[in-house]
Structure 1
Amino acid sequence: MNPIDTNERPLTYTIRPAEHTDARQLALLRARLDAETDHFDRFPGEDVLDEEGFLQLIQHETGVPHFLLVAEVDRQLVGYARCVGFPLRRFAHKADFGVGVVRDFWGQGIGRALLQTTLDWARTVELKKIQLAVVETNQGAVRLYQTTGFQVEGRLKHDRLLADGLYYDTILMGLLLD
């Protein structure tokens, strides 16, 4: 796959598959994302994925569809997306999706570009469905997913404890691919 370069907005960024040389930056990026927003599953410092962990994700060779993308601005990673299939045949037609973009780069089209590139890849490997879970407070992400065709498939009530000490719902969304 060729990297996507865009300068449709004032910001120029590149969307490309992750490489082994990205592992260290990915570990730092994930820690930063966990610290700057409640939109992820983890509190800061929980379930840390270090450089070695990201190397293993990048070199993922389990036979299930797997795609790890990065968004880069001036040689710095500012976002990533991951799509992971299922090893069981009953579920082999679908994959889970997740994305994160540094807050300073929200609203620049990076999340949409990561999502669209992932959807293009999913179609090439003949997946039939992409699914995701998003906390109800992340309305920007919910709107993004809805504008790309995702449908709300369910809701897990009081599913996530956020930093404010309150519980919030998780919205389950899915997109059936052509």
Structure 2
Amino acid sequence: MIIEPKDFNVKELSYSIRSAVIKDAGTLSKLRVQIDGETENMDRERGEAYIDSAGMETIIKKDSLRSIFLVAVIDNRIVGYSRCEGTDLKRLLHKVEFGVCVLKEFWGYSIGKNLLQESISWADSVGIKKMTLNVLETNHKAIELYKKHGFEVEGILKQDKLLADGIFYSTIVMGRFKEK
């Protein structure tokens, strides 16, 4: 599904959020690798589970009533993205899994928050009843952001990730149910 582009201005930084298109695939492939290397908040280390341009094209083409891929753009440069991915399994048609990432140099400009809000608006508009996500226990800003937008902790995956410091960290499983 394609959403109408939306413009934002935060701390004198102007950017837009729009649906990803096929021509974004190569950029998104490279951006994913870069973001994975900038933070341990992601599941992957730089280069792991690499998705090439053709793979990104396939993901973008899968957008439907249960999946959407959004990008944040500054001066024609993609600086972040989010993905809501659903399934065609009948028992799971009501929900999507959400993920978001933003280049570290653009943290603090509400790009992640606005990608989240646009994803929530999309999900609500197409009848999605539940959004789920996983977040590293040390990512306190993200956890608070998700709570402010109606997500609640549904569980904890204890000692779920081994980070570079040699310590195991837990993953927080969160969900948001569409208000009736």
The letter of the residue matching 1:11 is L
The whole-number CA distance in structure 2 between the counterparts of 1:70 and 1:164 is: 31
Partner residue of 1:173?
174
The whole-number CA distance in structure 2 between the counterparts of 1:55 and 1:111 is: 22
The letter of the residue matching 2:52 is D
Partner residue of 1:74?
75
The letter of the residue matching 1:119 is I
Partner residue of 1:45?
47
The letter of the residue matching 2:34 is R
Where 1:12 maps in the other structure, the secondary structure is strand
CA RMSD for the aligned pairs? 1.2
Where 1:164 maps in the other structure, the secondary structure is coil
Please give the per-residue CA displacement for 1:26-77, whole angstroms capped at 9, x wherever unaligned: 011100111010011111121001111110011116x661100000111111
Partner residue of 2:14?
12
1:3 to 2:13 alignment = no
TM-score, with normalisation over the residues of structure 1?
A: 0.96
The whole-number CA distance in structure 2 between the counterparts of 1:163 and 1:89 is: 39
**What aligned pairs does 1:10-159 form with structure 2 within 5 A after superposition?**
10-60=12-62, 65-159=66-160
The letter of the residue matching 2:58 is Q
The letter of the residue matching 2:50 is V
Question: 1:131–1:173: 8 Å Cα contact kept in structure 2?
Answer: yes
Q: How far did residue 8 of structure 1 move? A: 3.8
Where 2:44 maps in the other structure, the secondary structure is coil
Where does structure 1 lack aligned partners over 5 or more consecutive residues?
Answer: none
Where 2:13 maps in the other structure, the secondary structure is coil
The whole-number CA distance in structure 1 between the counterparts of 2:162 and 2:65 is: 31
Q: Deviation above 3 Å: which 4+ runs of structure 1?
A: none
Where does structure 2 lack aligned partners over 5 or more consecutive residues?
Answer: none
The whole-number CA distance in structure 2 between the counterparts of 1:98 and 1:26 is: 14
Question: 1:64–1:87: 8 Å Cα contact kept in structure 2?
Answer: no
Question: 2:65–2:126: 8 Å Cα contact kept in structure 1?
Answer: no
TM-score, with normalisation over the residues of structure 2?
A: 0.95
The whole-number CA distance in structure 2 between the counterparts of 1:143 and 1:11 is: 23
Number of aligned residues? 177
Q: How far did residue 124 of structure 1 move? A: 1.4
Question: 1:69–1:82: 8 Å Cα contact kept in structure 2?
Answer: yes
Question: 2:159–2:169: 8 Å Cα contact kept in structure 1?
Answer: yes
Question: 1:23–1:52: 8 Å Cα contact kept in structure 2?
Answer: yes
